[in-house]
Amino acid sequence: MGAEVISGKELAQATRQSLKERTEELVSQGITPGLGVILVGNDPASASYVRGKEKACLETGIHSEVDRPDESITEEELLGKIDTLNNREDIHGILVQLPLPSHIDEQKVIMAIDPSKDVDGFHPYNTGKMLTGDDGFLPCTPFGIIHMLKSRNIPIEGRHAVVVGRSNIVGKPAGMLLLKENATVTFCHSRTKDMRSHTKQADILIAAVGKEKFISADDIKAGAVVVDVGVNRTSDGKLAGDVDFESVKEKASFITPVPGGVGPMTITMLMYNTVISAEKRLHAT
């Protein structure tokens, strides 16, 4: 038997196809959605993610621009680049690839992005909107997770969702979106005592820890839905999740793979937010 694998790659393709149609409609109305990306320095992982975003823009008909300043760029210069993108009519989404060099204050940079162009959903304005359930940009990884669950008609309401990890970009917002879908939510983290006693109660388990094979079959309940958000580089350069896929697959009802799971959906929701931003601009004119 074993779990059904939720392919983020396939869902991403289908979602990108429908976004392409929305983009074509926008273009016919005179607006080409535009995404401005700033990639500071030459970290290979960051460069690879940004290439994935450029490819997704091509697939969805979104105009993309990537600015690649040297890692020696000052905070002031970077803030100046954001200001320029904020003021450009043809740019509807802005993404500053994280992490930034240590001499730059990430929070300050995120706060400088116009919240109406914050397609990452990282600006505190959008975080606040998400918390109150108001309309705003949702962070792409948690948004992609919800999309994956819904694509398989996996019920969320009334079920126990356990989120392992509490980062601002994944764990915390994933818990908030699951709460909005009426799940009962538990957060586990590095200070949690007897973590397994919690994870074994999960109907839906979100693994967002950043440690290879952190979740094994012994940590889950039979029939659980397991979402793997890990992006760990193994010593041989491959991408590995937080979940021991082979063992967990035998016990879960649904499982997302790495690669080909949450990652491609993260990028797709970035495209989605950019299209939404351009549609809002159209309706504001």
Ligand X SMILES: Nc1nc(=O)c2c([nH]1)NC[C@@H]1CN(c3ccc(C(=O)N[C@@H](CCC(=O)O)C(=O)O)cc3)C=[N+]21
Residue 48 C-beta: closest distance to ligand X, Å:
4
Q: Is 120 a catalytic residue?
A: yes
Cβ nearer to ligand X, comparing 120 with 242:
120
What does 202 interact with, of ligand X, Mg ion, none (CB < 5 to 8 A by kind)? Answer: none
Q: Is 201 a catalytic residue?
A: no
Cβ nearer to ligand X, comparing 42 with 48:
48
The alpha carbon of residue 153 and the mean position of all alpha carbons in its chain are separated, in whole angstroms, by 20
Number of residues that bind Mg ion (CB under 5 A): 3
The yes or no reply on residue 239 touching ligand X (CB under 6 A) is yes
28 is in an annotated binding site: no
Structure-block tokens of residue 134: 């108001």
128 is in an annotated binding site: no
Residue 97 C-beta: closest distance to Mg ion, Å:
12
Per-residue mark of binding to Mg ion, 86-115 (x: CB under 5 A): --------------x-x---x---------
The yes or no reply on residue 219 touching ligand X (CB under 6 A) is no
Task: Say which of 81, 97, 118, 242 is annotated catalytic.
Answer: 97
Cβ nearer to Mg ion, comparing 110 with 178:
110
User: Is there a contact between 26 and 56 (Cβ–Cβ < 8 Å)?
Assistant: no
User: Is there a contact between 229 and 104 (Cβ–Cβ < 8 Å)?
Assistant: no
Among 41, 52, 69, 155, binds ligand X (CB under 6 A): 52
The yes or no reply on residue 112 touching ligand X (CB under 6 A) is no
Residue 262 C-beta: closest distance to ligand X, Å:
7
Amino acid (one-letter) located at 13: Q
Cβ nearer to ligand X, comparing 98 with 131:
98
Residue 33 C-beta: closest distance to ligand X, Å:
17
Known binding positions for NADP(+): 165-167, 231
Residues making contact with Mg ion (CB under 5 A): 100, 102, 106
Active site (catalytic) residues: 53, 97, 120
